[in-house]
Chains A and B, each alone.
Chain A
């Protein structure tokens, strides 16, 4: 061992420096671009839905499916460590659902989503929700090929959460304040404080307030979804003729850049 710095070089050998400058998530990003091309070939708008465990992601998706099933054909990919429970809940509403069980992984990655697409009838869908593993840390770092990030903050959490988990709130194209039907019982949660906390990490723009249970505020959310799908359809028509799938062709969208931003954002 080298006596100068403790490295593995021995005297008399010539140490060379090799420049790499390669992102450690490059492989995931490449696959995410590939997944995005699957969506674009079929004119499907895909959303990465993220939040803490228990913020109401699945309930929101159930309410959204009920509200939108006449207008849009929806599919859902569910991510959890274990169980098929959430996919079963979604299937009861008559829409295709695939369950990814990650085992120990705390986030979905592009490979898992790509594999789950096998059972998803993309040609028959307009909108695909991918419900990430409940976690406010890791999912923010992994592009899974979606077009937009939606992050939920429920009123049963702390109203300073955006400041505590700034990376994920910063990455969101839209933030939803959920379970607002419970606000009368939770005097410790101040929506104005939550919004101020969001402004601090995201800049201007208020979250949409809604309740999946009562349906209050759902119209603004479904309106946003319809506008996103329509805009995406303009860029990637659903003509039933997918383009030749070129694996070497990388799509240009970066992580977390939807085509438009939230109302007022």
Chain B
């Protein structure tokens, strides 16, 4: 439901990092999103398309890595996938479970080019 503000933050970060590294054209952006964030990937892509218009990332490809949730049992130490958000250890049945994956929300990296005035 707040895909736009998330992608707006991504654009700010992207421009900041591109400027700092002298990149003038961004060709690819890699975003990592945990499924527990409740963000709709199609909407993220739609917002990205709107936000990159007239920016240094206007032709960039957006890669989204969707991370499935995983947990760690404090009782028996098992690591396991959480398919339906049931926070019980499938090995010992314990309910003391820490979420280890699925809450990610970051820009991993981006690709870009340093164009000289002659290229542009």
Which residues of A approach B to under 8 Å, CB–CB?
1-2, 5-9, 13-28, 105-107, 109, 135, 137-138, 141-142, 163, 166-167, 170, 199-204
Q: Which residues of B pack against A, CB within 8 Å?
A: 1-2, 5-6, 9-10, 12-14, 17-18, 21, 23, 25-28, 36-38, 58-61, 85-88, 95-97, 99, 105-115, 119
Q: List 28 A-B contacts (CB under 8 A).
A: A5-B28, A5-B61, A7-B27, A7-B61, A8-B26, A8-B113, A9-B27, A13-B113, A14-B114, A15-B113, A17-B111, A18-B21, A20-B108, A21-B107, A23-B106, A24-B13, A26-B13, A106-B2, A107-B2, A109-B5, A135-B1, A141-B2, A166-B36, A166-B85, A167-B36, A200-B85, A201-B85, A203-B96
Contact: A202 with B87, CB < 8 Å?
yes
Give A15 to B24 CA distance when docked, in angstroms: 11
Docked complex Cα distance between A103 and B12 (Å): 22
B21→A19 contact, CB < 8 A: no
Closest to B6 in A: A24
Give CA–CA (A200, B86) in the complex, Å: 6
Across the interface, do A21 and B108 meet the contact criterion of CB distance under 8 Å?
A: yes
- Cα A19 to Cα B28 in complex, Å, equals 12
Say whether, besides A8-B60, A27-B9, A203-B96, A13 and B105 are in contact (CB < 8 Å): no
Chain A proximity of B74: nearest CB distance (Å)? 10
A205 to chain B, nearest CB (A): 10
Query: When chains A and B are docked, how far (Å) is the Cα of A28 from the Cα of B60?
Result: 26
> Shortest Cβ distance from B96 into chain A, in angstroms?
6
Q: Verify A13–B97 contact, CB threshold 8 A.
A: no
Nearest to B95 among chain A residues (CB) is A203
Inter-chain contact B27/A20, CB cutoff 8 Å: no
**Minimum C-beta distance from A161 to chain B (A):** 13
Q: Which residues of B contact A8 (CB under 8 A)?
A: 25-27, 58-61, 113
Closest residue of chain B to A106 (Cβ to Cβ) is B1
Besides the contacts A20-B106, A166-B36, what 4 more A-B pairs have beta carbons closer than 8 Å? A2-B27, A18-B21, A27-B12, A199-B95
Quick check: B107 and A20 within 8 Å, CB to CB?
A: yes
Kindly state the separation between the CA atoms of A32 and B25 in the bound complex, as whole angstroms.
Answer: 33
Contact B13 A7 (CB under 8 A): no
Residue of B nearest to A5 (CB): B61
Give the CA-CA distance A166 to B38 in the complex, in Å. 10
Residues of B within 8 A of A23 (CB): 105-106
Is there contact, CB below 8 Å, between B113 and A24? no
Nearest B residue to A202 via CB reads B87
Task: Note all chain B residues with C-beta closer than 8 A to A163.
Answer: 85
Measured between alpha carbons, how far is A27 from B13 in the docked complex, in Å? 10
* Complex CA distance for A14 and B25, rounded to whole angstroms: 11
Instruction: Please indicate the chain A residues that have their CB under 8 angstroms from the CB of B12 in the complex.
Output: 27
